[in-house]
Amino acid sequence: MRAGALVALAALAAPGCGASVSLAPARDAGVAVVDAPVAVDVPVAVDAPAAVDVPVAVDVPVVVDVPVVVDDGPRCATDADCPFRHRCDDRRRCVLPCPPGFPTCAGERARSVCAADGFNTVLTDCPDRASAAGVCRGDRCAIACASGFFDCDDDPLTGCESSTACPSVLLTGFGGSTGYGPDSQCMHPTDDGSYAGPGAREGDAPVAVDLTAAFPRGFYLFSRELRAMYVNANGNVTFAAALATGTPSPFPVADQPMVAPWWADVDTRGGGQPARNNVCFVVQPRRVIVTWDRVGRHDRSDDRANSFQLVVRTDLAPCPDPAQPDIEFRYARCEWSAGDGPGALPAQVGFDAGNRMNFVALPMSRTPAIVDLCRTTNVPGGPPGLFRFAIRGGNCWGNV
């Protein structure tokens, strides 16, 4: 989204970014003209006093159907002629090969979609996992849980790890006292603080969380490369520096790239740790998950609680690309919209590149209606509370 526009989502559904097919004009396209033989004046002998002139035939244009030539990829001589991560194949076309471990099930479909060996093998035997059978869904391998088992962490590699039904739309099963991450990766009780490392206390300096275990080359938010994040108590993660303020400013915010599932005045000093009222995170291959679990609001209020989650991931695509992450906001509990104090504003939700141009803010941001996020979704057929946005090509975004 460009030029500070606020995204107006129809029923909270945003337009997606589609791939276009380029049609190159045929080399000899046009009208082919065929010369017909010319008849000359020939004297005709008739029982009449004079000869009659026969009209001369003229050239008549003939329209010929010319096949349309479809551009199936840039021409190349070497890999250096191709875009980022592509290679030049034996047809002298740029293709995007699939890295090891990321097969698809649909074979060759488009230049941007990979198959098992790069571009032309159809894979149908997806591997089984713990308590789960491998199945082919669309263009990627997925799992089908055995009876009585559930996939609560949304990770096919771990199979269906839970023998009890998933408690909510929030992903879980990551260890620690709450299941949302090791206790060492949970924030200390704080009002406006940020994660400051294991055993930290209020007032300790924020610590940047390295993201390269999830995205070895970083990931991109509107063409901006990001390799570390600050986990902030007030419902957001930032990438340039930690953010203490609990009063949400309207996007865009200069020089502060941010992803905010619920930017408002969170306060976790009301007790309940480690079982609840905390902020935890996990960094896994191809995804990062940050969870605000039953958190209170300023000032030490614990009478109402919110539970929400941020997921940044590249594992939904058959060929993960750090320039094309998916951002998910997940909401399980929305009992308060703003801190409990004078001048408190309702939460802002969205993400911002920090360049004063590219940002997304959900329409109900900074209004009491923000609590409706727990009851709605922008994912067709998705559960209430799930919002998914696809960042594609650095310059466009959309829901998927």
pLDDT single digits (tens) 140-186: 677 889 999 999 999 888 889 889 888 889 999 999 999 999 999 99
Assigned domain for 61 exists: no
Write out the H or E segment, with its range, that includes residue 24: strand 23-24
| CA distances (Å), origin 46, targets 40, 42, 53 | 18, 12, 12
Q: How many domains does the chain have?
A: 1
pTM exceeding the 0.85 threshold for the entire prediction: no
Contact indicator for 268, 189 with CB cutoff of 8 Å: yes
Nearest one of 148, 344, 152, 123 to 246, comparing CA atoms: 344
Assigned domain for 18 exists: no
Assigned domain for 73 exists: no
Assigned domain for 192 exists: yes
Return the pLDDT at 391. 82
Contact indicator for 280, 198 with CB cutoff of 8 Å: no
Q: Tell the residue number behind the tokens 């890999």, with chain if given.
A: 79
> Above 80 in pLDDT, residue 260?
yes
Containing structural domain, residue 305 = 169-399
Assigned domain for 251 exists: yes
Q: % helix / strand / coil in the chain, to the nearest 5? A: 5, 30, 70
Q: For residues 6 and 355, which has the higher predicted lDDT (pLDDT)?
A: 355
Burial label, 368 (beta-carbon count in 10 A; 0-12, 13-18, 19+):
exposed
Assigned domain for 205 exists: yes
pLDDT single digits (tens) 268-299: 999 999 999 999 999 999 999 999 999 999 99
> Above 50 in pLDDT, residue 3?
no
Strand bridging mode 23-24 / 228-232: unpaired
Phi/psi for 317 (5° steps) reads -85, 150
Q: For residues 13 and 392, which has the higher predicted lDDT (pLDDT)?
A: 392
Q: Average of pLDDT values for 210-218?
A: 92
Assigned domain for 271 exists: yes
| CA distances (Å), origin 77, targets 24, 108, 307, 348 | 20, 22, 53, 49
Q: For residues 323 and 84, which has the higher predicted lDDT (pLDDT)?
A: 323
pLDDT single digits (tens) 189-212: 999 999 999 999 999 999 999 999
Assigned domain for 151 exists: no
pLDDT class for 393, splitting at 50, 70, 90? low
**Count helices and strands in the chain by DSSP H and E runs:** 0, 20
